[in-house]
Every structure is written in structure tokens, then in C-alpha cells.
Structure 1
Amino acid sequence: MKKGVLLSIAYLFFMAIGHSQDFQGKAVYQSKTSMDMDFGGREMSEEQKKRIKERMKSALEKTFILTFDRTSATYLEEEKLEQPGGGNGGFRVMAFGGGGGKYYKNIKNQTYTDQKEMFGKVFLIKDSLPKLNWVMSAETKQIGNYTCYKATATKPIDSTDFSNFRRPPPGQRGGNKDDANKDEVKKDSTDKKETLFRAIETPKEIEITAWYTLDVPISQGPGEYWGLPGLILEVNAGKTVILCSKIILNAEEKEIIEEPSKGKEVSQKEYNTILAEKMKEMSERFQGGNRGRDGGNQIRIRN
């Protein structure tokens, strides 16, 4: 009963601010992704492994800014200076499937435009917003000054979602899924020859847990997440945690929320196909030792 009253109040408040053409807000999110760092790099020194882990940690911890009004939003990574000698080479691409750009979504039209750079080329991914079947509960917790409600959903993921890669158990590596002992006997040769895609696997689906607040009754959230009766302040999705650290409503200086327009226009499915092909090519070059001057694998996409 209490939850129903709160939803009614939220709806009335949403209608009130919805008629205000000037309504705008901004939310700052901290995103952290954990990743299995065991890539079978037995020939690497401890110092090299430590350096790679530090670079990967930097690439997997980011700050994003969601700027929203009543129907649309942009989600941008906050730029930060890179430490000298801290280039991530091919690791950044393997973790995220392309460089960060501008993510725009329109909840009224239920569409999104994701601008990404991949191997030197800019893509403009245009598609329908993914719809999650949220299951809302009365469970609450406090995030900062906001009371938040819990909602869960299950999301299918594709093979290009590298943030959810995991290393399979010993008996299932290198295509050998039945004989763990045989895998152990050939461990040395397998570790040297297995490619990136044979060494890791991606689950078919993950459970999403979101925490939203009715104090900001806008159906927005970080990245692709939306569809709840309040602003989503926290998301737990697989190995990624996204947490809101600051909210600003109706600041004096307004920002223009506009859809990106630069790049080759593709659907999400088309982009995933291109990415999978290039990652396979990169894996083969990595296996063959074909590297660029900076020690990373260099692949370009032709126009």
C-alpha cells in the first residue's frame, strides 16, 4: 500500500515537471568493472603482469555524466589525463569493444544513438532501446540522501560484451570440454597457443539489479538502463557496478542535449558483427606475434 501511494505521488510530480520545458538534471556515476586477469601469460614476468593489471584497472574504472530532461539524455565519459607511459594498447579495446563516445537515448521514441570509435573509425550505432522486464520490489536502501527501491531483470548478452568475459574451468579450455586430465597434461602447449577467444567465455545472460529513487521521478538511468518510475542511482550487472555519486537538478546553466551525428551509421547487430570480425583478426595477430611499435596489436578498419 505504501509503495502504491509513493508511485502515485511520483506520477503526479512527474506530470508537474513534465510540463516544464526547462526541466533538466545531471547525475554523476562511477563505473567499476572487475575482470579475470589470468590470460595464461606464463612467459610474462611478475613486473609485466603487475603493469598490465594497473593499466586494466585504470581502464575499468570510469566516471560518466548523465545529462537528462523529461524525454532524452546523453551519457558521456568524463575525460581524464592519461598517465605518462600508461597507454593501454589493445587492452582497452578488448575490454570495451571500442573507444568511448557519446551515448544518446530518447525514452519517448525508445531509441538510442551510440557514437563509438573502433580501430581508428567512428561508428554511429542507431537502434531501439533494449526493454528489460523489471520486477519491482518493496525493498529499499539509502544512497546518499535518496531512498531507493530495488528492481531486478534478466538481460541476454552477446559475445561482444567483453566486460562479462570469464576464464572457463580447466577441463573446458581450448575446445576440450570432456577430459580435464588431458587438458592438464597439455597445459604448457595449450597456454602458449590458445587465442584470446579460446581462453575466455561469455555467459548467455546476466541478472541486473537496479536501485531507483522516486525523489527524481524520471525514467532515466546510466547508459542503456531506463524504464523505471524514478532515476536509477545504482546498477549491478554481471561484473560491473555503476553508482551515482552526485545529482544536480535544474541548474542555472542549461546544457543542450543533442543526438550525435558523426560516424558511419549502423545497427547494433551490424556493429557487433564488425567488432567480432576485428577481434578475431586481432586474436590471430596476437597469437602470431604481429604487433605494432608500441607493443599493441594494430588493426585498422577500411572505409
Structure 2
Amino acid sequence: MKIIYISIFLLCSIVYSQSSGTVSYSFHTVNILEDAKKPQTKDFAKKNIDIANQQVFNLTFNKTKTQFVQIESLTPVSDFDQKLGNVARAGFTSHDIFSDFANGRQVEIMSDGTLVESKNEDLKWEITADTKEIGGYLCYKAILKVPFTNRYGESKVKEAIAYFAPSLPFSLGPKKFYGLPGLILELIESHKTFVVSKIKLSDQELEIDFPKGKTISKEDYEKRLESSMGGVILSKKREKDKNSQSNAIPKKALLN
């Protein structure tokens, strides 16, 4: 493991003349609701997954800022298709995210247009010895434990897997993932994958403009979301508890 860290450090100490760039990522996921009992649920999930799998995102960066935004389609879409696209982004891909590393702040444009501001986190990656080649670049595998809240309101932890290229010494990646000694070329979260499709570096400083408007904190937005979804979460938790009780072995059976 020490050899890996030393080699990565040496590669990242190289000073690139390019201080800006744009990295394009394609997206792929599978239909996790394939076995849904209700046909309308299955059809709705498939439609959203089809939309998500067509979405492409650009990570644009300069010396201090980044923006991770969806590339808008040149083909006009209806309001209904636009809403489906927003649902697909909320459920599968990503909102538009802007990061200012010099000031340690991040702004995310949510599906409802709310600007949510938060601090850049110190991500605790575990770099492994596993490697693979992506687009001609040797990439190392890194793992990150990500805490989240499930649909029952329970606190859980999932893994995010990143493959980063030390030969591209930009500590950046898709969505809110960064902090590795090399550009993330592939990101895997459960059944969802972002993979690089194009890299364009520039020796000119690219402009990155943060969205203008009133922002709210991540904590305040989550409280607002919890209050609006509280009844739904509580209902699902009760449903889970009920199913758990119905599947439990009766006490009489234990005595026999």
C-alpha cells in the first residue's frame, strides 16, 4: 500500500500547464424495479431509467472552482418530458452542482429550483491496490463510505467506488465526489455508474459562474424535506414494522 501512495504522490507532483478543463461523463443504470408488481410502477421506472441513461454531464473546472451540470439536449422537449427528466435526475443521476474550493462552499440546484448551500466535506477515501484501464489511463480503485437515510427514515451507510487516474492530477470527479490524487474517470454507486466519455484540457482559465439567488443551508432544506415527507416516511416505516411482525415466528411455535 505504501508503494501505491508514493507512486501517486510523485505523479501528482507534476505541474501541468493546463489549469482548466471540461470532462464529459455518460451515465448508466439498470431497472431495479423490474420485478415490480404494479405494471404502471414498472413502466414509470423504465421510462425514467431510459431518460437517465441518455443524460450526459460536464465537469468544468479552473484553479479554484468547478461546475457539474447536465448537457442540455438540442432537441426541444415538452413540459411533461422536462418534468420526467427532473425526476430522473433526482432519482438516478444528479442535480447541477457548483463548488468553490477556495472558500469551501458548494451550491446545488435542486429539482424545485431551490439553491442549497453547504460546506465542502473532507472525504475519507480508502485507496486500494486494484487497478483497471479506462480510456487508456491506468486507474486505481478507491472506496468511500457514504451515510444516507433510507425511505423508512433510517440512517444507513453505502459504498461509493471511484476509479481515478493519477496521471491526470486533478482532485475532482462527478457530483460531489473529489479529494483523490487524480481525476475520477468512473464512479459507481450501487446500480448507478458515471464513466468518462471525453476529456478536454485548456491552458486558459475557464469562467465558472455560480447560480445567482437566495440560498438556504443543507440542514434547513433537509428539515423542510423531512416535514413534507414525514407522513410518507412514517407510513413506510409502519409498513415495514408490520411486515417484520407478520414474518416473525409465533411464540407457540418456539414452545413446540
Tell me the TM-score range normalised by the shorter chain.
Answer: 0.7 to 0.9
Residue number in structure 1 paired with 2:108: 114
> Which residue identity lines up with residue 9 of structure 1 in the other structure?
L
Q: 1:202 to 1:242 in 2, by over 3 A?
A: farther
Q: Please list every run of 5 or more consecutive structure 2 residues that lacks an aligned counterpart in the other structure.
A: 234-256
Select the residue among 256, 262, 272 that pairs with 2:222.
Answer: 272
Select the residue among 55, 70, 83 that pairs with 1:77.
Answer: 70
- Give the aligned CA root-mean-square deviation in angstroms: 3.5
Q: 1:125 to 1:39 in 2, by over 3 A?
A: farther
TM-score normalised over the length of structure 1: 0.64
Residue number in structure 1 paired with 2:184: 232
Residue number in structure 2 paired with 1:56: 48
Shift of 1:248: 0.8
Asked whether the equivalents of residues 95 and 108 of structure 2 are also in contact (C-alpha less than 8 Å), the reply is yes
Which runs of structure 2 are paired with 1:111-260 in the superposition (5 Å)?
Answer: 111-118=105-112, 122-159=113-150, 204-250=156-202, 255-260=206-211
Q: Please list every run of 5 or more consecutive structure 1 residues that lacks an aligned counterpart in the other structure.
A: 160-196, 284-303
Asked whether the equivalents of residues 210 and 235 of structure 1 are also in contact (C-alpha less than 8 Å), the reply is yes
Distance 2:83 2:12 in 1: 48
Distance 1:6 1:208 in 2: 23
**Structure (1/2) with the larger strand percentage:** 2
Residue number in structure 2 paired with 1:36: 32
Q: 1:255 to 1:282 in 2, by over 3 A?
A: farther
Asked whether the equivalents of residues 99 and 116 of structure 1 are also in contact (C-alpha less than 8 Å), the reply is no
Question: 2:122 aligns to what SS in structure 1?
Answer: coil
Number of residue-to-residue matches in the alignment: 231
Asked whether the equivalents of residues 221 and 233 of structure 1 are also in contact (C-alpha less than 8 Å), the reply is yes
Q: 1:267 to 1:135 in 2, by over 3 A?
A: same
TM-score normalised over the length of structure 2: 0.74
Shift of 1:11: 3.2
Distance 1:31 1:244 in 2: 9
Asked whether the equivalents of residues 166 and 182 of structure 2 are also in contact (C-alpha less than 8 Å), the reply is yes
Which runs of structure 2 are paired with 1:86-125 in the superposition (5 Å)?
Answer: 87=81, 92-93=86-87, 96=90, 102-118=96-112, 122-125=113-116
Q: 1:147 to 1:99 in 2, by over 3 A?
A: closer
1:65 aligns with 2:16: no
Distance 1:70 1:232 in 2: 17
Q: 1:143 to 1:153 in 2, by over 3 A?
A: same
Asked whether the equivalents of residues 55 and 86 of structure 1 are also in contact (C-alpha less than 8 Å), the reply is no
Asked whether the equivalents of residues 89 and 95 of structure 2 are also in contact (C-alpha less than 8 Å), the reply is no
**Per-residue CA distance 1:3-26 (angstroms, 9 max, x = gap):** 34422322321xx23xx6x72111
Asked whether the equivalents of residues 59 and 92 of structure 1 are also in contact (C-alpha less than 8 Å), the reply is no
Shift of 1:269: 1.9
Question: 1:138 aligns to what SS in structure 2?
Answer: strand
